[in-house]
Structure 1
Amino acid sequence: MYLNIKSDSVFVADSHYNERKGQFLIFLKKLKSEEIKTSQLFLMGDMFDFISGESRYFIKRNQELIDIINELSKRVEIIYLEGNHDYNMKVLFPDVLVVKRENQPLCAKYKDKSVQISHGDIFTPWHYDLYCKIIRNHPLLVFLNMIDFGYFISKKIYYTLIEKDICYKMKNFEEFAQRRLKKYSSDIVIEGHFHQGKIFQKKERLYVNIPSLCCENRYFRLNDKFIGEDL
């Protein structure tokens, strides 16, 4: 069964929300007030600088955003593709279609075109796949939360991530896009993760990399074609 992509759908990626990168909260508030309007929202992963369904500290820090997303999900179809900074989240978003890494790419249709959508950290070497399984392991994360006295582990993660510079531009985007297209079989490929905000077309196939919200203050809307809109 394929997901049908709607003509007014909005795609937003890699906001890495924290106290210094507040764009995602601004975006969600504009959706809530209907300043930004859509009937279908794709959250392409790494929307939070870090969160998991087991993490008490990060859930508490991000509760306002969690509440808005759940409120929005009552009237907007929301598809959340888990990234490498946000996972095990179905427990947080009961009315959102949460797509785990192992279930990506998500297969969809847009008009007569086949579409595959992922955060982007798939088709990777075996050791990265193993790392992803370990850091998403539910019993391990529950145990780490049990020994996270005074949130010393969580705070170390938070303040390490907050210092990272994640904004960059590739010099060889076209070559990169062609390599990514070879990994997929659909007419259109949509990814986040790489923070490029660019589109590449080869004959009848299209590769779309959704911009990082915190780097560019921009998201993509699909209205027959992908159009960048400023936050």
Structure 2
Amino acid sequence: MFLKIKENSIFVADSHFNDKNPELLSFLNLIVENKIKPSQLFLMGDIFDFISEESKYFIKKNIKIINLINELSKNIEVIYLEGNHDYNLKTLFPRVLVVKREQQPIYLQYKNNKIAMSHGDIFTPWHYNLYCKIIRNKPLLLFLNSIDFFSFISKAIENSLLKKTICNEMKDFNSFARKRLNCYKNADIVIEGHFHQGKQFSKNNKLYVNIPSLCCNKEYMIFDGEFKGKKL
């Protein structure tokens, strides 16, 4: 999948929107109010702390954000890379280019650069890949939703996620970034979320960009030929 990346594109990752992490709502409202004017909006996964099209509880819980993204997608090109907390999204966002994990990385062009982009939870061991298939299985999710009386399953998931600590700094980001670059053999630039670092690393004219976590760093990225962090 090849797209052209435009200057003044904005990248948002890992906002993990929930009752504890409200930053995404503030960010989207800034776009609605024309205080931020992106040419493209890349949602890099884990935008919600949890959501899937099968979960009635989490759809209702997040309906304001869903509606805001859909409203923005009428006027802005929105690309949504599904993460490990948000998947099976296509019916929720009909005007958005939704990219499933199995379709990642996607490839973009900017001038002579080939850019590879994913949420970040790819090139992983077989057991994680199996886990991903299981948790995204539509019949299973529909069944779980059907027995989610009084939302007891959904609320248990929600409470567990609210207790998680997700903001940590890697001790050796450069070594990690080298390994990630090696996974994307033919790309000049690699863009990922997932790891919550908000850092960049270059080697042999190749660039690795880890988009900051909106909830951890209170920051998103703007692309104007270079990737620049911007505080919310």
Superposition TM-score tier, normalisation by shorter sequence:
over 0.9
Q: In 1, distance between residues paired with 2:181 and 2:49?
A: 27
TM (norm. structure 1) is 0.99
- The one-letter amino acid paired with 1:24 is L
Q: In 2, distance between residues paired with 1:112 and 1:214?
A: 33
Q: Which residue of 2 aligns with 1:215?
A: 216
Q: In 2, distance between residues paired with 1:16 and 1:186?
A: 28
List aligned pairs for 1:60-139, cutoff 5 A: 60-139=60-139
1:103-158 C-alpha deviation (Å, 9 max, x unpaired): 00011111110000000000000000000000000011000000000000000000
CA RMSD of aligned residues (A): 0.6
Q: Which structure 1 segments of 5+ residues have no match?
A: none
Q: In 1, distance between residues paired with 2:77 and 2:4?
A: 11
Q: In 1, distance between residues paired with 2:53 and 2:4?
A: 28
Q: In 2, distance between residues paired with 1:39 and 1:139?
A: 37
- The one-letter amino acid paired with 1:19 is D
Segments ≥4 residues shifted beyond 3 Å: none
List aligned pairs for 1:195-210, cutoff 5 A: 195-210=196-211
1:184-228 C-alpha deviation (Å, 9 max, x unpaired): 020000000000000000021000000000001000100110011
The CA deviation at 1:39 is 1.6
Q: Which structure 2 segments of 5+ residues have no match?
A: none
Q: Which residue of 2 aligns with 1:156?
A: 156
The CA deviation at 1:68 is 0.4
Number of positions where the alignment pairs a residue of Structure 1 with one of Structure 2: 231
CA contact (8 A) 2:13 2:220 kept: yes
Q: In 2, distance between residues paired with 1:163 and 1:34?
A: 34
TM (norm. structure 2) is 0.99
- The one-letter amino acid paired with 2:193 is G
Q: Which residue of 2 aligns with 1:56?
A: 56
CA contact (8 A) 1:192 1:209 kept: yes
Q: In 2, distance between residues paired with 1:152 and 1:168?
A: 30
CA contact (8 A) 1:192 1:211 kept: yes
